[in-house]
């Protein structure tokens, strides 16, 4: 027996949800079965979040979602229903830079030439940002572990790891103030 709301002739339910994306509030009518990825890309036109495997294997769709303690964690938006993140702060690659200034992760990836085609770029950077928010001075194995859910088919990962290490040396990456100059 098939449940009344399943199968090819089932009525798709739509719900109004309030999404907090990159500091802006969006009231969006979403089908309850739509993923966060679909809503970000196709309704909010935030195309920096990439649609890759749609199975949670590649990490190209990674965004940051704040928990109750306001800690941002990487989330695979292709596996997350939009209705499940209602009212939570979501950061996409478009929201990583603030006030026209690149985040230290973005700057470090640029300086190191860490990416080639750019498809994995947003997921890599957001995963690196989440790591540095939690652990401002990670070791190389910690960086490798944090980025292990993000696949890149163009590079050998060396420059991506170097960029994350470089970003960890930047004061803003650690949430610290720059050292004071000696008087």
User: Which CATH number is correct for 14-95, 3.40.50.360, 3.40.50.450, 3.10.20.30, 3.40.190.10?
Assistant: 3.10.20.30
**Which is nearest to 44 in space by CA: 31, 32, 29?**
29
CA distances from 73 to 42, 64, 122 (A): 23, 5, 14
Query: Binning pLDDT at 50, 70 and 90, where does residue 43 land?
Result: very high
- What predicted TM-score, i.e. pTM, was given to this entire model? 0.86
Spans of all domains in the chain? 14-95, 104-174
Query: Binning pLDDT at 50, 70 and 90, where does residue 181 land?
Result: very low
Give the mean pLDDT of 4-24. Answer: 78
Give CA–CA dist 134/111, Å, rounded: 23
More confident residue, 21 or 115: 21
Q: What CATH number is given for 104-174 in this structure?
A: 1.10.150.120
Look at 30-39, 86-95, 116-125 and tell me which has the smallest mean pLDDT.
116-125
Is the confidence at residue 183, as pLDDT, over 70? no
**Residue corresponding to tokens 């989440």:** 130
Residue 11's pLDDT is 59
């Amino acid at each position: 027996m098939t449940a009344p709301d399943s199968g090819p002739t089932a009525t798709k339910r739509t719900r109004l949800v309030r999404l907090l994306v990159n500091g802006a509030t969006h009231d969006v009518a979403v089908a309850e079965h739509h993923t966060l990825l679909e809503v970000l890309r196709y309704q909010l036109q935030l195309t920096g979040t990439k649609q890759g495997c749609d199975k949670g294997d590649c990490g190209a769709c990674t965004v940051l979602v704040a928990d109750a303690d306001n800690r941002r964690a990487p989330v695979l938006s292709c596996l997350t229903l939009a209705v499940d993140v209602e009212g939570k702060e979501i950061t996409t690659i478009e929201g990583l830079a603030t006030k026209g200034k690149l985040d230290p992760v973005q700057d470090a990836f640029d300086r190191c030439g860490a990416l080639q085609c750019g498809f994995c770029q947003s997921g890599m950077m957001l995963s690196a940002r989440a790591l540095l928010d939690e652990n401002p001075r990670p070791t190389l194995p910690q960086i490798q572990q944090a980025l292990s859910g993000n696949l890149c088919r163009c590079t050998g990962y060396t420059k991506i790891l170097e960029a994350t290490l470089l970003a960890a040396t930047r004061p803003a990456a650690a949430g610290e103030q720059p050292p004071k100059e000696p008087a």
